[in-house]
Chain A
Amino acid sequence: MIGYILRRVCAMALTFWAMTFVAFLIMELPPGDFATTRVSEVSAAGAKIDPAMVERLREMYHLDAPLLERYAVWFGGVLRGDLGYSLAYNTPVNQLVASQLPNTLLVEGLTLLFMYAVAIPIGIYSAVRQYSAGDYVASIIGFIGVAVPSFLFALLLMWVAYSSFGVVLGGLQSQEYQGAAWSWGKFSDLAAHLWAPILVGGAAGMASLIRVTRANLLDELDKPYVTTARAKGLPEWRLLLKYPVRMAMSPLVSSIGWLLPSLISSATVVAIVLNMPTLGPLLLTGLLVQDMFLAGGVLVVMAILTLIGTLISDVVLFWLDPRVRVSAA
């Protein structure tokens, strides 16, 4: 087990380096840089621009250094835990990430829990009761969930909340609780804001989870070991959960790794629509204004989350699936 984890961690370090390098290269691809974006933003606002300003900005931010040199400086900082300095916000990226990461983990963690808690039981139900009325209802809802883009769902939800209830969804807190100490009032205010992103984020992922669980379980249900266990007289629900469901979970578990970053990146659009104080909007701003350090910093955090997620799924699989144990040993 220890050796297995060690090997995984070594591979992770290399993957991490590769991810940062590729991310940096891709961010470099669009024409222009932070200085030109800044200048065209200012002139779009209507202000007159001093052409020398581009050069002054470029020189101060060292944007004129060669690509590899800038990457080396940045990556050196990342290794020391310093994500650099956001040019767009004149703030250390660490500070920006530190302020949005807890919100992000809270929203995405709860979304994940919500997804699993709802989708897996429904998936099991629709596999066991295949072609029943309940299975059809679950499938239809599932397909609608897959088909409707989550930003559209968010927009519809916002419009319904506004036009029917006079409520504007958005953000994570009300003004009176900004910066206030935790209290029951602040907690219930947070809860009142949280349900919308969880519902929207959950709905999209839930549908595919239902389908995957259902399909996996259907594969297992006809296997001889199920018949054997049933012949031995195990109660039906206990049998289900102990053997075929456990097997059907393997593909789901192995996808935890990429679920975390995909939640964050797919949630970017939803976070913009719902005005969430999470990492997604920071990433988008960073990319739009070509603030390499901000965008790069968020991508580093996402890379780390992916790697941690992959490690978790590897470890859980190791524990869950004897076949993995055998091949790893």
Chain B
Amino acid sequence: MADRLPANPRVITPVESIGTYGGDLNLALRRGDGTHLLRLVGYEGLFSWDLGWKEMLPNLAESYEVNEDATEYTFTLRKGVKWSDGSPFTTADIAFAYNDLLKNPDWLGARPDYIAVPDDTTIEVVDDFTYKVKLAKPNGLYIFQLTNVDGTQLALFNKAYCSQFHPTYNPNANADAVAAGLADWRALFEQKCAEMGGEQRWMNPERPVLEAWMVETPPTATAEFSIFTRNPYYFKVDTEGNQLPYLDRLNFAMSNAGPDMILRAMNGQVDFQDRNINPASQKPLYLENAEKGGYHLVDEVPSNMNVMLVMFNQTVSDPVLQEIFSKKDFRVAMSLATDRQEIIDTVYVGQGQFHQAAPRPESKFYDESLATQFTEYDLDKANSMLDALGLEKRDGEGYRLRSDGKRLSINVETFDTARPDWVDNLELLKAQWQKAGVELLVKVVDRNLVDEHRRANLHEMHVWGGDGGLDVVAAPHYYMVASDESAFGVPWYYWFNDNAAPGAVEPPDSVKKQRELYDQLVQTPTTEGQDALMKQILEISKDDFYVMGISLTGKGYAVVKNNVHNVPPSQPAAYTYPTPGPMQMAQIWKSE
């Protein structure tokens, strides 16, 4: 066994108990849901989060050093980590990922935030287990970004295997792809060595991996079951030195996301799962059948902070509307005219808590006044504030008139496929805001169109879920202008990227100030320094009140069979912290 383990294996402390070997874990997998597998099996990067989402622990890396201005990082890998085919994992694999894929403009995969501008990163291999990364601009969040799920993109490609499909190493790569009936090498590379996201990555059983289990039967479009088996070279041990994983196999019953998945879980045929089977509406039924099915439920605290955020586009092309939206009093009045209790009672069966766009109570950035300001329902105050804004004239139907004599009406587009609750919320908002003399016109369209209109700044108002409730620093786009999802000022975001770009608009000073603070944060190497800057950004967002929220997203749950051990009673749920990956599936075990 010593040959199969590295000299310094990663030691995992089991959540409750040292396990016994053997057994199959049964799960249900929605067809096409590669993200589920990424979270369960695929979270093996250079670093990993601890269970509390506080510490960044070395995983495939053993240690790192950083220079003072956060522009040069030196990494040391664990010596003797092996791929599932027994070949060593070295800096050659990392260099291949950087130089031949991430920095190669032809490659189809995504460039994560730690390499957003590929040319700004250079990598220098020192020896088989040491390499340096040099950054053109300081990045104090580099290790943080590598610890997030996107960090796995770097430790995913076995150079010896994957390079045979790459034209730099195989001059016939294009010809091979065409012979296989594909467009060019990129398509064949995607088939054999796909990137971390998506389901394609799990379709090739030949590909060497570093994960606890290897694909045996791929989760194809037509398979009814997908099976993963133990990787004999997995680089982790428990506190008594037993090599992990404890479980021999993972069995996934494939489904079209129909009711069969939920019934399977209630029938005790799913050992552990927190995805696709656990809508909030089914929780009472799960509790009712827990004894019969031999399972219990554990909590998951979502990173999401709001069931629905409302953003008025302050850069909308209609100049009159733009002037109205850019006044804080207007946004405050609309928040006061919103009867959140009615929405919570009608749409969320009474489950919820008034909440603006603000970090969750579980977060170290929680600020009660930011979370609850203007959440009270006060129609009289809202009406007098709107009157004071020069919107006191009304038409025959009681709607307010804008300064150009037109009715004050706001268009919003949404879709009903993934989030039917948004449509319900908007219908309620429409009736509530009518009492304040503001007309809301709700249009249900295709999701693609919502995205396209937002990116093209064609929207007047936008609604979305609330990222950044726990991962405040990683997803700050509802507290400041940080991506094109900051739908209250998408052209401002474009201006930050390139102030001469078509469609870019210069943002107001407070928005610029936040951006400066965030740039400073990115260059700060310590967490304490970063946190202090983030708090200043949140203060400005409290003053400016760009984004209005409805209700705090409730806790989710996972279904755990009673004979499955080492699942903690509560864990965070997010994408950057890819639940349940950081819990370490390899330390889960099953008793008879």
Contact = CB atoms under 8 A, between A and B. Distances in A.
Contacts of A285: 31-32, 221
Give the interface size bracket for B toward A: 35 or more
B575 A31 contact: no
B264 interface: yes
A92 B180 CA distance: 10
B191 interface: yes
A248 to B, nearest CB: 38
B78 interface: no
Nearest to A280: B256
A262 interface: no
Contact of A172 (B111, B200, B224, B263): B224
Interface of B: 31-32, 35, 108, 110-113, 116, 149-150, 181-184, 186-187, 190-191, 197-198, 200, 203, 217, 220-225, 251, 253-260, 263-264, 266-267, 269, 292, 418, 446-449, 451-452, 467, 574-576
Contact of B35 (A31, A45, A86, A178): A45
A259 to B, nearest CB: 24
A85 B182 contact: yes
B265 to A, nearest CB: 9
A91 interface: yes
A158 to B, nearest CB: 6
A98 to B, nearest CB: 9
Contacts of A48: 110, 112-113, 150
A32 B258 contact: no
B269 A99 contact: no
Interface in A53-83: 53, 56-57, 60-62
Contacts of B184: 60
A284 B499 CA distance: 43
A153 to B, nearest CB: 13
Interface stretch (A162-170, A200-208, A225-233, A235-243): A162-170
Please tell me the size bucket of the interface on A.
35 or more
Question: Which 3 A/B pairs are nearest by Cβ-Cβ distance?
Answer: A46-B575, A32-B448, A170-B260
A277 interface: yes
Contacts of B418: 44
B183 A100 contact: no
Interface string A284-318: 11000000000000000000000000000000000
Contacts of B260: 158, 168-171, 273-275
Nearest to A44: B418
Contact of B224 (A162, A173, A272): A173
Interface in A82-122: 85-86, 88-92, 96, 99-100
Q: Which of A49, A57, A155, A170 has the largest number of chain B CB atoms within 10 A? A: A170
B482 to A, nearest CB: 11
A47 B181 contact: no
Interface stretch (A6-14, A34-42, A124-132, A139-147): A34-42
Given A31-B452, A166-B267, A175-B251, A60 B197 contact: no
Given A45-B35, A100-B222, A272 B446 contact: no
